[in-house]
């Protein structure tokens, strides 16, 4: 029997999907990855989403969603999911336009 996933697990999956969509769109390099650190109320750590590469932390890109101090894992999951759907649809639109332009 599979273990039950926590909300943090679902959020990390949504961030991984967002990372894959950003790499497909050319917004992230091959060696870059998104790192999500969840909110922890015990240590009063705020949620953060950052881009890292082989050399360390990269400056925040313009397209990456910004988190508020009160954002919890569920809200971050929904935001990452919505942004990954947007990137996916933009990639489909770009592919469609390339095919139409090639036919002309």
- Number of separate domains in the chain: 1
Domain extent for 74: 7-98
Q: What pTM value is reported for the model?
A: 0.84
Q: Is residue 2 part of a domain?
A: no
Query: pLDDT tens for residues 8-46?
Result: 899 999 999 999 999 998 899 889 999 998 888 788 888
Q: Is residue 104 part of a domain?
A: no
Q: Is residue 46 part of a domain?
A: yes
Query: pLDDT tens for residues 54-90?
Result: 898 888 889 898 898 888 889 999 999 999 999 999 8
Quote the pLDDT of residue 1: 63
Task: State the Cα torsion 19-12-86-27 to the nearest 10°.
Answer: -20
Neighbours of 51 (CB within 10 A): 19
């Amino acid at each position: 029997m599979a273990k039950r996933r926590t909300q943090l697990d679902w959020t990390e999956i949504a961030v991984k999907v967002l990372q894959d969509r950003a790499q497909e769109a050319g917004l992230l390099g091959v060696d870059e990855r998104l790192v999500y650190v969840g909110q922890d109320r015990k240590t009063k750590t705020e949620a953060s989403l950052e881009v890292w590469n082989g050399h360390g932390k990269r400056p925040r890109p313009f397209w990456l969603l910004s988190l508020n101090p009160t954002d919890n894992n569920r809200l971050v999951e929904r935001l990452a999911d919505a942004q990954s759907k947007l990137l996916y649809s933009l990639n489909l639109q770009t592919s469609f336009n390339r095919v139409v332009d090639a036919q002309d």
